[in-house]
Amino acid sequence: MKGLFITFEGSEGSGKSTQVSLLAGRLYGLCLTARVLREPGGTPIGEEIRHTLKHSHANAAMTAEAELLLMNASRAQLVREFIRPALAKGEIVVCDRFYDSTTAYQGYGRELHLPTVKTVIDLAVGDTRPDLTLLLVVPAQISEERLRSRQSTLPFIRDRIEEADHEFFERVAQGYEKIAAAEPQRVRKVDAAGDVETVRREIWREVEKILPPGRVGA
Ligand code: Z5A
For residue range 197-210, list pLDDT tens digits in order.
999 999 999 999 99
pLDDT of residue 1: 66
Contact 94, 18 (CB under 8 A): no
CA of 115 to the centre of ligand 1 (A): 26
Residue of 141, 142, 161 best suited for mutating to test ligand 1, as the one with most atoms within 8 Å of CB: 161
* CA of 18, closest atom in ligand 1: 38
> Which of these, 101, 127, 116, lies nearest to 42 by C-alpha position?
101
User: Which residues lie with the beta carbon below 6 Å from any ligand 1 atom?
Assistant: 10, 12-18, 39-40, 71, 97, 101-102, 105-106, 146, 150, 161-162, 195-196, 199
pLDDT of residue 218: 47
Q: What is the CATH number of domain 4-207?
A: 3.40.50.300
Between 117 and 149, name the one with better pLDDT.
117
Q: Return d(Cα 166, Cα 40) in angstroms, integer.
A: 22
Any residues with CB less than 8 A from the CB of 35 and at least 6 apart, and which? 82, 86, 91, 92, 93, 94
pLDDT of residue 76: 99
CA of 19 to the centre of ligand 1 (A): 10
Poorest-pLDDT segment among 58-72, 91-105, 139-153, 172-186: 139-153
pLDDT of residue 202: 98
Contact 103, 175 (CB under 8 A): yes
Tell me what the mean pLDDT of segment 69-86 comes to.
98
Task: Name the average pLDDT for the chain.
Answer: 95
CA of 146 to the centre of ligand 1 (A): 10
pTM score > 0.95 for this model? Answer: yes
